[in-house]
Chains A and B, each alone.
Chain A
Amino acid sequence: MNQWWIDGPATPPPEEVAALDGELAIETHGLRKTYRSVRGRAVCVEGLDLEVPVGGVHGFLGPNGSGKTTTIRMLLGLVRPDRGTARIFGHEVPKRLPDVVGRVGAIVESPKFFPAFSARSNLRLLADAIGAPRGRVDAVLEEVGLAGRARDRYKGYSLGMKQRLAIAATLLKDPDLLIFDEPTNGLDPAGIREIRRTMRGLADRGRTVLVSSHILGEVEQIADTVSIVARGRLVASGRVADLIGAGGRGSVRVRVAPDDLIIATSLLETGGLTVRREHDALVVDGGPDPAALNRALGERGVWARELVPQQADLESVFLGLTQHEAPGGRTHAGGRRRGRRRGAQPAEPTPPETGATQEVAR
């Protein structure tokens, strides 16, 4: 099959490769968690292998109920895994969590503070618990823009203010790793942008940010790398650009004269392309190079009236992966080689989008 028009995945800059190949902030192997209830046993996380490189923003993506929050809870020692191991900065958790907890700030789901206490009282209690200086409380309140409302009771705060207070709490420790679980839930657009900016800023200052979300647009804007989970398993991980490029590849919408539609379709299909007809236009899938398409048509005397590249986004990659994910399926992208571990299943057949993603895992 002739594929001369398909762009390959972009090669990551050397510094990014170095970062990805370096120390891991978070590492889990075969993590499993089940919940028992009167209705039976529900597997929430099933053999999760997760790797989060040091530095940058790492999106932890998955549909609702895919095990993101449970995984974060296991990392923080709030929930006991049934099986598997987890490490933060090389320290096994929850066993050695006390050794590393000072480097980790986390907000799990919605912020939870003592409702009747003021923001300052809440933070002072936390600061005193870890021996942070009192001055640090006012500094972090100032940093998140809550200094003017520090005396107000927490229960009177808006959702956005609560989120900002939670971020302030995580900053009390001056952590190297920040874990945000669905940080923009319930926020208005301004609040979402603010949180996004904060997370990006933290990463730009050298911290590692793990953000779990099912809102892909926001993650796509700030994340350097992502891991996608579905039904408790990792289905893909790597750089956002690689996943989008390799996973979606995009398509090109081609408009030609109505009389040329049939011949144009024939020409392109002969070249090995997948062509769909949409009303009076053709949609060429598989991430073709628009210039190459134009040249190929022009050489046969068919002139394109319109060529519109349609880029894949993280959402399409995510949906492709999570809707078709089968147990054991796993895809990696990016410069880092992830060895398949004992017991891991070979990747299952994947849909067209993920098939492309698999190609870059080498």
Chain B
Amino acid sequence: MTRLLRVELRRLWLRRMTWAACVLALVAVGIGIATQVGTARPPTDAQIAEAERFYADELAWWEEHGEEEVASCEEAEAAEGDGADYGCEEMGPRLEHYLPPTSTFVPDAAELDGPSVAADVDGAVAPDPAVAAVQGSLWSGWSGLPSLVPVATGLLMLAFVVGVSFMTAEQGSGALGMWLTFEPRRRRVYWSKAVAAALGTVPVVLLGWAALVGGAYAVYARFGTLGDVTGPVWVQVAAFSGRLVLAGAAFAAIGVALGVLLRHAAAAVGVGAGVLWLSTVFAYSLGGLQRWTPALNFDAWLRDGATYEVVRTTMGEDGTYAEEWVTRVVAGWQGGLYLLALTVVLSLVALVVFRRRDVS
């Protein structure tokens, strides 16, 4: 088995597809780093001067009409009743509203999503600490480090495609038949291919991610907008890297399994990408079942927790129905178990098919 695994690993790295995946990974990393330049750069003097001019104009207008605006707001707020808060005290102009958005490598608390307004706990609408914890975590923001997560997801898709191609190319070329005349123990053959794909894609994913984080760090450091880069942040980055590597291995193994089951690379990639796309696009229509969709669970595993929203319909005291969005949590461990179960089940089904299928 070890000998076969070594051979399969060598074959994986002899394949142009693997090297093409490396190039694509580099391109994705490059684009990911380039997009950081715009958000990492602090405002230029000209931008600040222009913002100050607009701010001064607005402030002058506000000094003349501000009281009138606030009074109107408070009047509307009082008419709404039930402790409605229109934020009338915050209506005045601020300079930061006129400056281009700037983020830091490590988002500060203000940049992260705020705590959930409402969450479902035991049937009652109340603040949910789990939701707050997920939404307040490092990886839930949309700038700086967390904005790199979509690129990491792209690396996972590359691992998946490498896994699919690794299997379907051999089946398509007919080389599998020749291979089996040298090693007819199909269980060994299957596992050697699946494990080789899983192990072989680890460097692509890991180095790609390392280059991405390193590049983004360099960009933010260049503009002096690193933010509060502390030891615990690097611990979180390391933990994320570990989860990403495991996910990459799982994606490659799933790719091999789908390659066996569907035989054609386009079909396997289409099914994989299609399931992710459908489970993202139609997530809301699934309601509470969203917690079992692949995309959400993969995201939960990577970010160590993810949230989703469902519409909750309640009946008011006056007998009318009202709808409200309720945020719920998919824990990181659930995402991990989901990914593990999917990998194991698909691999076992593929193994059974691989062992029994006639090779033409």
Contacts and interface: CB of A to CB of B under 8 A. Distances in A.
B182 A113 contact: no
A111 B178 contact: yes
A221 B11 CA distance: 40
Interface stretch (A11-19, A57-65, A72-80, A334-342): A72-80
Contacts of A112: 173-178
A169 B183 CA distance: 13
B185 A113 contact: no
A112 B360 CA distance: 11
B358 A73 contact: yes
B6 interface: yes
B16 A116 contact: yes
A73 B359 contact: yes
A97 B183 CA distance: 9
A28 B192 CA distance: 31
Contact of B7 (A78, A111, A113, A125): A125
Given A114-B170, A114-B175, A101 B14 contact: no
Given A112-B173, A113-B173, A76 B7 contact: no
A115 B174 CA distance: 10
Contacts of A97: 184
A332 to B, nearest CB: 30
A78 B75 CA distance: 82
Contacts of A104: 181
How many interface residues does chain B have, given as a range? 20 to 34
A98 interface: yes
A130 B183 contact: yes
Interface in B1-43: 3-4, 6-7, 10-11, 14-16
A180 B319 CA distance: 83
A131 interface: yes
Contacts of B282: none
Given A116-B16, A125-B7, A130 B175 contact: no
Given A98-B185, A129-B4, A129-B182, A114 B11 contact: yes
Nearest to A78: B359
Contacts of B97: none
Interface of A: 73, 76-80, 94, 97-98, 101, 104-106, 108, 110-117, 121, 125-126, 128-131, 166, 169, 173
14 contacts: A76-B181, A78-B359, A78-B360, A79-B360, A80-B356, A97-B184, A105-B181, A108-B177, A108-B181, A111-B178, A113-B178, A114-B170, A129-B179, A130-B183
